[in-house]
Amino acid sequence: MSSPAVFLDRDGVINAAVVRGGVPYPPASAAELEILPGVAGALAELRRAGYALVVVTNQPDVARGTQTRAAVDAIHARLAAELPLDAIRACFHDDADRCACRKPAPGLLIDAARELDLDLAACVMVGDRWRDIEAGRAAGCRTVFINHHYAERRPAEFDVELGSLVEAAGWILGPAGRDAKGTT
């Protein structure tokens, strides 16, 4: 039987993004990684409620040559060691590669759903950028936009706009989240 999941963008949702000029960037190393307040507890609550927890992240700096795959892998190893995550899926391509896995394409979510036997209609995508939200909508998930007021395009449509993963977990587990599609 398929199960529900919460798909989580990484930078800005689970860990602090490095914001320069109103634009978010990933931390440069595992040592610079700062897990946001309340994230571990929110993830534990979601896990107790039966949700699989899957990180889906674009990491184009690897393709651009400004970040190493080893540094990204070290960040993911630290997240996996400190948080109750079921999987971490990353796209290392840039827009020019036109891959199926780089958000806003839904490939990371669809592949994880196939591999982990997830019911996409019962899943929620939590992200802080338009690409995250569009990927979730394209995959058939409910969407939670974490608004950090970046100086960039906002998503056009989402189910709810909140300020943190802690708030998102409350919405997902509460009546509003359950009633959004009636599937949780």
Catalytic residue among 11, 128, 132, 159: 11
Does the domain spanning 5-114+125-181 belong to CATH 3.40.50.1000?
A: yes
What is the pairing mode between strands 142-146 and 87-91? Answer: unpaired
Verify whether residue 159 is a known catalytic residue: no
Structure confidence by residue, pLDDT tens digits, 134-176: 999 999 999 999 999 999 999 999 999 999 999 999 999 998 7
- pTM value is 0.95
Mean predicted lDDT score pLDDT of the chain:
95
User: Per-residue pLDDT for 106 more than 90?
Assistant: yes
Show me where the domains of the chain are located: 5-114+125-181
Helices then strands, each counted (H, E), the chain:
7, 8
Verify whether residue 11 is a known catalytic residue: yes
